[in-house]
Amino acid sequence: MDKAVIAMAERTVVLHVGTHKTGTTSFQARLACNPVVLRARGVHYPEAGRFLYGQHNLAWELNDDVEQFEAARGTVADLLVELDEVQANAVVLSSEDFEYLYKRPDRLASLRQGLLEHGYASRIVLTVREPAGYLESLYRELVKHGMA
């Protein structure tokens, strides 16, 4: 990516890749429930692609997850329109399912390019958990859902 193009982007989108069982849902809920506080600080947490608390529908679209993606919940194109309307200094996108984009680097690059074209540089923040604690928590969650 041309550094001059990135420098032209005055605003930033933080793509929060909260891997499963790392407190991502709590983080998303705090963002979703506090739009006034965020707006006062120049931060926007988009509605486009939001399902429950996170932008899971965007992740499902980017990952070609046809079982879960529903265009009516908002698409990447809808997100870009929303960002043009809001003109926030900082935007946060968050979904546990962004973690699967490692299999689709072309989609991640396309999202990044789309954001740049709308004046936003992008930064990826990956939340991980210590492996033993992660496995224990994941196992409890699977048992809770009858998948022991």
SS3 content of the chain, % helix, strand, coil (to 5): 50, 20, 30
C-beta atoms surrounding 8 within 10 Å: 11
**What value does the mean pLDDT take over residues 82-98?**
95
Does position 3 have pLDDT exceeding 60, yes or no? no
pLDDT of residue 36: 95
Q: The whole model's pTM is what?
A: 0.82
Strands laid side by side in the 120-127 sheet:
43-44, 90-95, 11-18, 120-127
Strand partners of residue 124? 15
pLDDT of residue 7: 46
pLDDT band at 125 (very low <50, low <70, confident <90, very high): very high
Please provide residue 139's backbone torsions phi and psi, each rounded to the nearest 5 degrees.
-60, -45
pLDDT of residue 67: 97
**What value does the mean pLDDT take over residues 59-69?**
97
Give the pair of three-digit tokens for residue 146.
Answer: 């009858």
CA distance 75 to 16: 17
The counts of H helices and E strands in the chain are 7, 4
Does position 96 have pLDDT exceeding 80, yes or no? yes
Range with the lowest mean pLDDT among 13-27, 53-67, 77-91? Answer: 13-27
**What value does the mean pLDDT take over residues 70-89?**
96
